[in-house]
A and B are shown apart, each in its own frame.
Chain A
Amino acid sequence: MALLEIRNLHVATEDGTEIVRGVDLTVDSNEVHAVMGPNGSGKSTLAYALMGHPAYEITEGDILLDGESILELEADERAQRGLFLAFQYPHAVPGVTVASFLRSAVNAVRKAKAGGEDDPVKIPEFRTQLTGAMEQLKVPKEMAGRYLNDGFSGGEKKRVEILQMAMLSPRVAVLDETDSGLDIDALRIVARGVRTLVGPDMGAVVITHYQRILNYIKPDFVHVFVDGRIVREGGPELAEQLEAEGYEAFTPEPVGGES
């Protein structure tokens, strides 16, 4: 059974405009999938829909996590089952420190895993885990005491997204344009972080416009996403071809199912 299975997914906005027009994608543990597409192709909508954003309606198709449909679940329940979305534009929560936010999030997921019983992480254990993850992702120590994304630079936000991912240990992580706004050093660190987490317990979907991040997170599969559909699939070599030829070369021959 696949970890995450997206079947013929159609997503529309509240006014009825269809943005995602029939996507099939299967992600397993140990796998990194790259979804590459131009601006406005609907990549972020796909990411939001996977996480259950209330502004998007799934008009057709299904999303299965561990073989079970999650369409009826709210975002928090999806997260508790192991889905994670690294946001392109993470939101600020003034007054709430990174550390206290992370502890609440970790405890919310633990509670769900314990069948609804409170099972808070012990503070020393949490601290050790947090310090370790921060060191690995080269996130300065004092960030733990800063208010979540409040006044963070673009690069800091992205790193803290990956830090959250590391702390929450999801089964499937979707990274939405995590490379945008990162300099090359930060990109390398973030990519290494993602690669370390992908393994027998986790698979990842890396959504990006550019090939750049893929030089560091070697994808196992590349999906070219144009106009709400996957138009071509292949191995890492496809990303290089894209970089050389641009997206235009891929627009005329859709391979995704007609809707």
Chain B
Amino acid sequence: MATPETEVVAEIGTDYRYGFSDPENYFFKSQRGLSREVVEAISAHKDEPEWMRDFRLKSLEYFQARPLPTWGGDLSGIDFDNIYYYIKPTESQAKSWEDLPPDIKQTWDRLGIPEAERKFLAGVGAQYESEVVYHKLQADLETKGVLFLDMDSGLREHEELVRQYFGTIIPQNDNKFAALNSAVWSGGSFIYVPPGVSVEMPLQAYFRINAENMGQFERTLIIVDEGAYVHYVEGCTAPVYTTDSLHSAVVEIVVKPGGRCRYTTIQNWSNNVYNLVTKRAVAYENATMEWVDGNLGSKQTMKYPAIWLLGEGAHGEVLSIAFAGDGQHQDAGGKAVHVAPNTSSVITSKSISKNGGRSSYRGLLEVAKGSHGARSKVVCDALILDEESRTDTYPYIRIDENDVDIGHEATVSKIGEEQLFYLMSRGLSEAEAAAMIVSGFVEPITKELPLEYAVEMNRLIQLQMEGSVG
């Protein structure tokens, strides 16, 4: 069908490892551009309840009414009329690996999913285009009452639970791109962990864009009930295309009293993708929320995982790493909002800029009146690899309470000639030496990743570093 795209990709000759593309063989593809009709068609196609259809249509109005943000990155290159807002690749979801269509399976084989699964997957929900087509959940999770579904199935099978939380953490009019996602969302994960249940293995989902000019608007909702624990891991890779793609996700998380949730993303979109994601979690009494957020690819990323500390003793952490190369702008960071006493937060940001890339830390720390005993620490470290690259820090701090303990540290460093020479004197090439220094720089983040992702992250860094110095 769409072999021209395959040819385009073949001609690029890029070093982007996942720059392959399979022929498109879609079951349903919306027309380009966004309108009431497109939104209605998406909702009708999914056979959604009326409230969701109305939610989508209202969100569309908000999206159309809001101007593009003028802060952060340059978004003027997005052509909203030239994007497919919905594509459904196969007729229905496959339950097992064997049931998948061969070309989809081939794509995933290249991404190494079965291998990953063999190792320590508790469940895989992989998003191919807009719809989750493959889903597997280990039997013991089901017996524990843990729900791990794609968002569409979640809505169909657990409508009341979804309706209770959907759009409550991130209102549909929160920002222009949250409104867009609310209008056209498709796929993403829905997770519910019952009280006291601890999911020991990380739950993983792979997301992937495969069609040119395809927008991807997955929607994730995670509810961790009292005293429960879950670690959700999301990896993203996209093939390379010549025109710009848009990825705009919304992730909402609720961590109830005493619960703990960790959400890990390694995002490696190809360098033509606008990656504009809204992620927010609320943490109640003595709950813990942790975002581990790695941004290696994309053309423009704007992403600031947020935690609202709503209950006394709640704790939040954001670990953010950004790698900006040629033509890339990573505008990333984190937000912590303290609205209860004795809450604590730590935001750690590490950024690397090379070959003219630009990385910015943008963060918000807010402590509301009455949040006595709140503690927060923000650490931003930037590493710049050459003279052409750039880094900025935009820390916003609003404190309305006197009894607080707040710390902010920021460092900017360059890879020194002496450090390189030292490593080269041991036989490492200049590129290997620089990659080693960078890997060490981000180690505080990689050590928090599941082993397999830590290995992948180091490999991605090495790929990014090859030929970048000397």
**Cα of A55 to Cα of B422 in the assembled complex, Å:** 13
Contact B427 A93 (CB under 8 A): no
Least Cβ–Cβ distance between B438 and chain A, in angstroms? 9
Tell whether B417 is near chain A: CB-to-CB under 8 Å: yes
Contact B424 A76 (CB under 8 A): yes
Q: Which residues of A198-239 are within 8 A (CB) of B?
A: none
| Chain A CB within 10 A, most for which of B426, B432, B433 | B426
Q: For B443, list chain A residues within 8 Å (CB).
A: 94-96
Tell whether B419 is near chain A: CB-to-CB under 8 Å: yes
Least Cβ–Cβ distance between B414 and chain A, in angstroms? 14
Q: For A122, list chain B residues within 8 Å (CB).
A: none
Contact B427 A79 (CB under 8 A): yes
Q: For A126, list chain B residues within 8 Å (CB).
A: none
Tell whether B428 is near chain A: CB-to-CB under 8 Å: yes
Contact with A96, one of B417, B430, B436 (Cβ below 8 angstroms): B436
Tell whether A151 is near chain B: CB-to-CB under 8 Å: no
Tell whether A141 is near chain B: CB-to-CB under 8 Å: no
Tell whether B25 is near chain A: CB-to-CB under 8 Å: no
Tell whether A104 is near chain B: CB-to-CB under 8 Å: yes
Tell whether A250 is near chain B: CB-to-CB under 8 Å: no
Contact B430 A74 (CB under 8 A): yes
Contact A80 B439 (CB under 8 A): no
Q: For A168, list chain B residues within 8 Å (CB).
A: 426-427
**Cα of A104 to Cα of B433 in the assembled complex, Å:** 10
Stretch in A25-33, A36-44, A105-113, A180-188 with 4+ CB within 8 Å of B: A105-113
Contact A74 B424 (CB under 8 A): yes
Q: Which residues of A63-117 are within 8 A (CB) of B?
A: 74-76, 78-80, 84-85, 87, 90-91, 93-96, 101, 104-105, 108-109, 112
**Cα of A105 to Cα of B423 in the assembled complex, Å:** 8
Tell whether B441 is near chain A: CB-to-CB under 8 Å: yes
Q: For A78, list chain B residues within 8 Å (CB).
A: 425
Tell whether A147 is near chain B: CB-to-CB under 8 Å: yes
Contact with B417, one of A54, A76, A85 (Cβ below 8 angstroms): A54
Q: For A85, list chain B residues within 8 Å (CB).
A: 425
Contact B432 A95 (CB under 8 A): no
Least Cβ–Cβ distance between B212 and chain A, in angstroms? 36
Tell whether B23 is near chain A: CB-to-CB under 8 Å: no
Least Cβ–Cβ distance between A119 and chain B, in angstroms? 13
**Cα of A109 to Cα of B430 in the assembled complex, Å:** 14
| Chain A CB within 10 A, most for which of B416, B432, B437, B440 | B440
Contact with B437, one of A51, A93, A105, A164 (Cβ below 8 angstroms): A93
Tell whether A138 is near chain B: CB-to-CB under 8 Å: no
Tell whether B418 is near chain A: CB-to-CB under 8 Å: yes
Tell whether B394 is near chain A: CB-to-CB under 8 Å: no
Contact A105 B440 (CB under 8 A): no
Q: For B432, list chain A residues within 8 Å (CB).
A: 76, 104, 108
Least Cβ–Cβ distance between B467 and chain A, in angstroms? 15
Contact B426 A55 (CB under 8 A): no
Q: Which residues of B260-279 are within 8 A (CB) of A?
A: none
Contact A108 B441 (CB under 8 A): no
Contact A96 B422 (CB under 8 A): no
Q: For B423, list chain A residues within 8 Å (CB).
A: 93, 101, 105
Given A76-B430, A104-B436, A95-B424 contact (CB < 8 Å): no
**Cα of A90 to Cα of B421 in the assembled complex, Å:** 10
Contact B429 A76 (CB under 8 A): yes
Tell whether B209 is near chain A: CB-to-CB under 8 Å: no
Between A and B, 17 residue pairs with Cβ closer than 8 Å are A51-B421, A75-B424, A75-B425, A79-B425, A87-B422, A93-B422, A93-B423, A93-B437, A94-B443, A95-B439, A96-B440, A101-B436, A105-B426, A108-B426, A109-B427, A112-B427, A168-B427
* CB-based closest 7 A-B pairs: A95-B440, A95-B443, A108-B427, A96-B440, A79-B427, A105-B426, A75-B424
